[in-house]
Every structure is written in C-alpha cells, then in structure tokens.
C-alpha cells in the first residue's frame, strides 16, 4: 500500500512539473551562441562585395546579413562590427558602422555599413588600384564569431568609371549617350549614375519595356523621363550651399550641363 502511495505522489509531481513547463518561458543558455555575418542574401553567401565611390556623390549603404546559430531570446541583443584590416588609413572617415540590434524572438537581421564618397580624404584613392576593407564581429558577451566562411566581411574598394561603350558608338538598336548627355566627362557620368542608379546601361530605341534588369536596358521613353529627373537633380545640387563644388564641375573645371533633348530622338 505504501508503495502505491509513493508511485501516486511521484506521478503528481511529474504532472505538476509538466504544468510549470507549459506556463513558464523557456530559459536558453546563450553563452555559446555564434553569429554568422555575410554579404549576398538569405540564400547566397558572397565571399566579398564591391563599393565603388564613383557610383555616388554622397552616402550609400552596403547591406550585410547577420544570423545566430542558437535559439532566440525574449529580449533584444546588440552587437557591432569593426574594420580590422585593409586600407584603413586611406578609407578612414569615408565609412562607418553602427550598433545593430537583434530583436527579441528573432534569429537574423539585415544591417547597413555606410559609405560616403564626399568624405574620402583623397579623391584619387582607389582609382589606379583597388583597395580592401575587412570587417569582423567585435567582442561581445552575447555572441561569438560564426563559421570561418561567415565570420569576415570583405569589401573591395574602387573609385573609377569606365567610359560606356554606348557613349559615342552604340550598336543598334542602342542609342548614343552623347545624344542624351552631351560630351563625356568622368564627373558627369558619376553624377548620372548617382541619380539614375544604373551603371553602363543601354538606351534601346525599340523596346517598350521601361527597364529590363537582365540586359540593363532602358526604353527610350523611360530614359527621357529619367532625363527630366537628372536636370532637376543638377539644379538642386547647384542650389545647395552645403555642396563644396557649386556649380558642379568636371575634372577639367568645366561647369557640368546637360543639353536640351532633341524632340526627334
């Protein structure tokens, strides 16, 4: 009889523990939680990415992904990354990171690294030779570094634009850049890229599709629409007293202008 009582008490204890487990928040040991960081997307890990200062007149963002290998928590956790190797002195001041937050209940987050072309100490840096920056997770009590292939962010630094093939002699049905933008200059092309967001694109005189991402092709109609945005952007730039070079000039000191579009284009 005593034996049966002991068995009954043991069962009640187990039931009580099970009830507690259902009502209480689980507590996870996060001491060994690793954080993986990478460029690319959620399904693709790139060994590096490129930042080209010539593609922007001001600030632009590179996005990286961070994902933990452990369980989520019921509170926010923060982390930082640091540039620890590469052309640190030459690029100093032209990039910055932030304090990033992994929200409660989440296991991944997208994070920005900020670059600003206007803050590059030497405008001729990375023109003749590519530069590099390597970032890693800073020491953090919540996270340790992830796997080898997801522990370092490598950024290749460039600062030049090649003259597009379509500027003067495009292959039909592509249209000439010169018809739209006038005489070539590197600074003019940089401004176009910074406003439009397209590099080495094609303007097709036949297609009716505004933009074909696969071929980097714009329709003539869409290009004319973007051209109006370009003129407005240039006027705004020249009227902004915070810009150092006003009016905007090319590398030879000539004021940058865009011709009126030929209505017969």
pLDDT tens digits along 98-140: 999 999 999 999 999 999 998 999 988 999 999 999 999 999 9
Q: What does the block give as tokens for 76?
A: 């926010």
The residue among 24 and 98 whose pLDDT is bigger is 98
Beta-ladder partners of 80: none
| Total domain count, the chain | 2
How far apart are the C-alpha atoms of 199 and 235, rounded to whole Å? 22
Domain coverage including residue 147: 34-158
pLDDT > 90 in the chain, percent:
69
Is residue 147 domain-shared with residue 193, that is, in the same domain?
A: no
Is residue 149 domain-shared with residue 91, that is, in the same domain?
A: yes
Q: What is the DSSP letter of 40?
A: E
Any idea what the CATH number is for the domain that residue 141 is in?
2.60.40.2030
Start-to-end CA distance of the chain, whole Å, equals 103
Is residue 48 domain-shared with residue 90, that is, in the same domain?
A: yes
Whether 220 maps to a domain, the answer reads: yes
Whether 240 maps to a domain, the answer reads: yes
pLDDT tens digits along 160-196: 988 998 998 899 999 999 999 999 998 999 999 999 9
Is residue 166 domain-shared with residue 100, that is, in the same domain?
A: no
Is residue 220 domain-shared with residue 262, that is, in the same domain?
A: yes
Is the Cβ–Cβ distance between 59 and 96 less than 8 Å?
no
């Amino acid at each position: 009889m005593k034996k049966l009582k002991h068995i009954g008490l043991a069962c009640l204890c187990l039931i009580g523990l099970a009830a507690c487990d259902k009502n209480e928040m689980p507590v996870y040991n996060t001491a060994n939680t690793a954080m993986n960081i990478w460029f690319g997307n959620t399904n693709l890990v790139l060994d590096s990415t490129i930042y080209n200062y010539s593609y922007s007149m001001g600030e632009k963002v590179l996005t990286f992904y961070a994902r933990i290998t452990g369980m989520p928590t019921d509170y926010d956790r923060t982390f930082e990354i640091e540039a620890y190797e590469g052309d640190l002195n030459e690029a100093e001041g032209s990039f910055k990171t932030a304090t990033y937050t992994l929200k409660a209940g989440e296991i991944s987050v997208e994070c920005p690294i900020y670059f600003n072309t206007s803050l590059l100490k030497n405008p001729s840096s990375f023109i003749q030779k590519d530069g590099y920056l390597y970032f890693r997770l800073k020491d953090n009590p919540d996270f340790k570094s992830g796997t080898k292939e997801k522990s370092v962010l490598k950024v290749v630094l460039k600062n030049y634009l090649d003259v597009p093939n379509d500027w003067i002699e495009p292959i039909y049905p592509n249209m000439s850049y010169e018809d739209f933008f006038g005489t070539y200059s590197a600074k003019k092309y940089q401004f176009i890229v910074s406003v439009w967001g397209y590099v080495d694109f094609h303007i097709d005189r036949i297609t009716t599709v505004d933009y074909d991402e696969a071929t980097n092709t714009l329709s003539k109609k869409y290009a004319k629409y973007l051209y109006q945005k370009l003129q407005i952007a240039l006027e705004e730039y020249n009227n902004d007293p915070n810009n150092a070079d006003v009016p905007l000039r090319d590398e030879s000191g000539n004021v940058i202008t865009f011709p009126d579009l030929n209505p017969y284009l």
